[in-house]
Structure 1
């Protein structure tokens, strides 16, 4: 059932009554007016789909009414009623875009047929227009996908608007987010010289389009404000179409296409194309601005990250020399003294070793990230590596105290790897196990050969790791505990270094953990080739 809104205009009451009764019976929503001026006022208050008007009326005639209403509603369907017809009248009606004629007197069936035919014809035309508009816009979509630069996007918009609507000029403007002014970014043809800045300077039409946030279609310059009209006349501008460019739900620019004075007005296909063009431009501009923001944020993060790593590198190098001196003298004094003084010096040495370990972690991470660390493969036995690591970290386990169990089969085959890196990997895992296992707990070091690899495990009876933290524990500086309230030391680099070094050694690293019961870290190394 049709639901189109129809404005019926005739100076004869009988004709108005007949048209209203017939069309309402067919389901149309009918509004009536007895002359052209009354109809024009009603058109300003509400939107209509179809105008059914008598041609000859006192005052404002039907053709003049149709032209005036089409200026505000380019999609309006027009049907005229007349008692006579001439060739000149028909030509004028066609020029104004009248869609159907009906000759008085007419029957109800003829009236319904004329109205429905006009609407059906316009629907078909609009569908053809929509399909025709998609062809250049398809190419534009590919162009938009290939660039994230704002100027290139506007260049594409200007070119399509200028060429595909056969306009004599086109203009693309954007609002400056800093000053709030609208400036011409791209222009061509007769619109190249138009100045726009503030609402009170230059061409005011773009500001009106922005404020209304809707398209403006003018068949000439008569309805333009005085200042704007004089500028348009000076530039030779006739029919024009202006549409807002909406970026992220905010009117942020304007596209205007114009033809020379006296040229044919833009038809519905032109308006449809420009409307879709503005929609695509808004999306492309939003993407370009989002990309620019992300790029700026990324560059800032890179800068801060570089500063952080340079600080760590400089600090680590500057700390190493005084720390080496401190450890050297403290170790000599510890060997030369006895009793309580020796115990205190041993505490100094142990904490100096911990500090050296932190410094080594920071430097190792930098070397791994920059690729400056070399790989020196050799045949080694994991038992020897375990003994060397325990020699260094054993005192920390005994101090707590913890039980450290070494469960290594006697027939473990050797591996081909970098001894220093394997020692760092095992030391980091063992250090974490000691750190997160409460006093009285147990740490176990085990290994087995399987599937051409040597699997080394460090298991503890410590606090365990929450499931949601496991995907992140190998990330740099990640801490399961809050940095301000955590009970355990470290800067969160040990596992990151272990992961990167095991990659250099051609192996893998992983973890299994149950909160409250403990964790089991493991890594694999290739066995010595046969």
Structure 2
């Protein structure tokens, strides 16, 4: 400001600040490209902001080298425009009344701010479009598609695309393909991001008495600069959203594939195991010693393969929601452990491994799902047994505190390194991933444990030192009045 005491300069400076705030608030609400286009166009036609008659945005599709109409905000005739602006003014006055009422009641800024922001929310803009003939105008503009190779160098779009600053367009000859929508004089400029030319923004003053001047051109370019910065963020958010959707779809396809393949494998495996048992029991005739030994190997490997197929099916069903419809009820955690124990003991083979609970007090009932808790036990105990080389011990301890029951499963196995601790619940992750690894399995059990605990609102944490064993601690809410006698 050249003279801070000049009332006109002070007022002008205040208007600049208000405009800056409006632009900042409005563009800050955009999270999708369509929202961004609508908000930018609404700022241009808002009489309290930039005050143009109509605003247009075309997207530049660089793959097809084509300009495509995205948004047209405004009307075709002066009469329609007047009706639209009267509607806009009515809504604005209504908002001002709401703001004034809230200021009178509370005066709290945080309660008023959302009403200011509402004027630039896309739902608000779309409502105004739907209440007028704006939508027909917008839909017709969205059919515009102009190939750049067919545009002359003096065309409005080419001038805007190749100029570093916004341009004032005055000749009708520059409007080929756009003459049904845009009239001159108008201003046009480009939206640029690090990816290149994104699009062209155009605004005209067809129904306004104020003409175009350098000041309006300056403010138009100023808006484009702010909009281009916002556009960078919007593009990043859209990319992230699209990537997330693709990953979710890939994960869904993976789960479906695992489920289908597992089902197809399980049927013939069941037949193989059944026929092998018939042969082993000599139902089809007597066997020699070598034949028995070979059939026992077939039986063992078939059962192992069946176990892996069941594991894959389990994770596919859990991820698909088929087995996580848990029902929380009063569950005895010790009883659940004892019911699983025989199945786990069969996994020890010839190794000298002791599996036992350590009881110092009565064990309270917890809120859990009986079937889901048994499956959690099975996977954790099987995992503990698997990583004990020849002999060792697996213990189960119960510790009640502050309304929670901690169930600690501790083993004397090989332990887990600090680096691997961060990954053990990942799908198909193996602590020992070498082809010649000693310990089998598919790295599914702990993933299932985590999914089931999440469904039951339970928690799990792991403590481990490489070479000294691991300790998995489950936590469940205690049923206040339920205890074993």
Asked if residue 513 in structure 1 is aligned to residue 464 in structure 2, the reply is: yes
Query: What is the aligned counterpart of 2:382 among 408, 419, 431?
Result: 431
Q: CA–CA distance in 2 between the matches of 1:229 and 1:412?
A: 86
Please give the alpha-carbon distance, in whole angstroms, between the structure 2 residues aligned to 1:254 and 1:347: 72
Of 372, 377, 395, which residue of structure 2 is paired with 1:445? 395
- Residue 474 (structure 2) pairs with residue 523 (structure 1): yes
Does 1:500 pair with 2:424? no
**Alpha-carbon shift at residue 245 of structure 1 (Å):** 1.8
The correspondence of residues 303-318 of structure 1 with structure 2, limited to 5 A, is: 303-318=249-264
Report if the CA contact (8 A) 1:130-1:272 is conserved.
no
Cα distance in 2 for residues equivalent to 1:256 and 1:306: 43
Cα contact 1:406–1:446 (8 A) shared by 2: yes
CA deviation map 1:379-415 (0-9, x unaligned): 65737834x545334354334x353353533865474
Between the aligned partners of 2:281 and 2:398, the Cα distance in structure 1 is 39
1:243 alignment partner in structure 2: 189
Q: Secondary structure at the match of 1:120?
A: coil
Q: TM-score, normalised by structure 2?
A: 0.66
CA distance in 2, matches of 1:413, 1:235: 78
Shift, 1:494, TM fit: 0.6
Which structure has the larger Rg?
1
Give the equivalent residue in structure 2 for 1:459.
410
- 1:385 corresponds to: 337
Contact 2:146 2:177 in 1 (8 A): no
Change (3 A) 1:361 1:278: same
Q: Distance in 2 between matches of 1:210 and 1:493?
A: 54
Residues 402 and 169 of structure 1: CA distance in aligned 2, closer, same or farther (over 3 Å) = same
Counterparts of 2:145 and 2:334, CA distance in 1: 79
Report the TM-score, using the length of structure 1 for normalisation. 0.61
For the residue of structure 2 that corresponds to 1:253, the secondary structure is strand
Cα distance in 2 between the residues matched to 1:123 and 1:465: 74
Are the equivalent residues in 1 in contact too, given 2:394–2:410 (CA < 8 A)?
A: yes
Q: C-alpha separation between the residues in 2 aligned to 1:448 and 1:231? A: 78
**Alignment match of 1:365 (pick from 295, 315, 318):** 315
Q: After superposition, give the CA deviation of every residue in 1:161-220 in whole Å (9 maximum; x if it has no partner).
A: 2444454554433322222233454455799999964265255243233223223357xx
8 A Cα contact 1:335 1:342, kept in partner: no
- Find the residue that maps to 1:458 and give its secondary structure: strand
User: Given the superposition, is the C-alpha separation of residues 381 and 181 from structure 1 closer, same or farther in structure 2, using an over 3 Å criterion?
Assistant: closer
Distance 2:37 2:60 in 1: 13
Residues 229/364 of structure 1: CA separation in 2 closer, same or farther (3 Å cut): closer
Distance across 1 between alignment mates of 2:450 and 2:176: 73
1:345–1:485 CA distance, 2 compared to 1 (3 A): closer
Q: Write the deviation string for residues 251-284 of structure 1: whole angstroms up to 9, x where unpaired.
A: 4333334457997654454234312321233244
Cα distance change, pair 140–408 in 1 and its aligned pair in 2 (3 A)? same
Change (3 A) 1:153 1:511: closer
Q: Is it true that 1:397 corresponds to 2:348 in the alignment?
A: yes
* Deviation for aligned residue 1:151: 4.0
Pairing partner for 1:132 from 8, 12, 15? 15
Q: Indicate the RMSD between aligned Cα atoms, in angstroms.
A: 4.5
How far the C-alpha of 1:431 sits from its partner, in A, is: 2.0
- Go from structure 1 to structure 2 and tell me whether the alpha carbon gap of 1:374 and 1:159 turns closer, same or farther (over 3 Å shift): closer
Deviation readout 1:47-104 (Å, 9 max, x if unpaired)? xxxxxxxxxxxxxxxxxxxxxxxxxxxxxxxxxxxxxxxxxxxxxxxxxxxxxxxxxx
Q: Which secondary structure does the structure 2 equivalent of 1:472 belong to?
A: coil
Change (3 A) 1:342 1:380: farther
Match of 2:66 among 157, 181, 184: 181
Unaligned 5+ runs, structure 2: 78-136
Q: Find the counterpart in structure 2 of residue 83 from structure 1.
A: none
Q: Distance in 2 between matches of 1:354 and 1:195?
A: 62
Could you tell me whether the CA contact under 8 Å between 2:30 and 2:39 is conserved in 1?
no
Q: Is contact 2:460-2:474 (8 Å) kept?
A: yes
Q: Choose from 43, 64, 71 the match for 1:160.
A: 43
Counterparts of 2:189 and 2:161, CA distance in 1: 8
Aligned to 2:119: none
- Among residues 234, 250, 256, which one is paired with 2:202 in the alignment? 256
The equivalent residue for 2:166 is: 215
Assess if the C-alpha contact under 8 Å between 1:435 and 1:488 holds in 2. Answer: yes
Task: Give the C-alpha shift of residue 231 in structure 1.
Answer: 11
Q: How many residues align?
A: 404
Q: Distance in 1 between matches of 2:168 and 2:5?
A: 20
Structure 1 residues 341, 363: CA separation in 2 closer, same or farther (over 3 Å shift)?
Answer: same
Aligned to 2:95: none
> Kindly tell me: are residues 436 and 198 of structure 1, through their superposed partners in 2, closer, same or farther at Cα, counting changes over 3 Å?
same
Show the counterpart of 1:112.
none
| Equivalent residue in structure 2 for 1:275, among 208, 221, 224 | 221
The reply to whether residue 406 of structure 1 matches residue 367 of structure 2 is no
Aligned with 2:57 (options 161, 172, 186) = 172
User: Does the residue aligned with 2:63 lie in a helix, a strand or coil?
Assistant: coil
Bigger shift: residues 499-508 or 190-199? 190-199
Change (3 A) 1:275 1:499: same
Question: Which residue number in structure 2 is paired with residue 471 of structure 1?
Answer: 422
Distance 1:342 1:126, change over 3 A: farther
- 1:481/1:273 Cα in 2 relative to 1: closer, same or farther (>3 Å)? farther
Residues 128 and 510 of structure 1, relative CA distance in 2, 3 Å threshold: same
Q: CA shift at 1:514, angstroms? A: 1.2
Distance 1:176 1:134 in 2: 35
Does structure 1 residue 326 correspond to structure 2 residue 277?
Answer: no
Q: Distance in 1 between matches of 2:347 and 2:414?
A: 18
Which segments of 5 or more consecutive residues in structure 1 lack a partner in the other structure? 1-118
* Cα drift, residue 332 of structure 1: 5.0
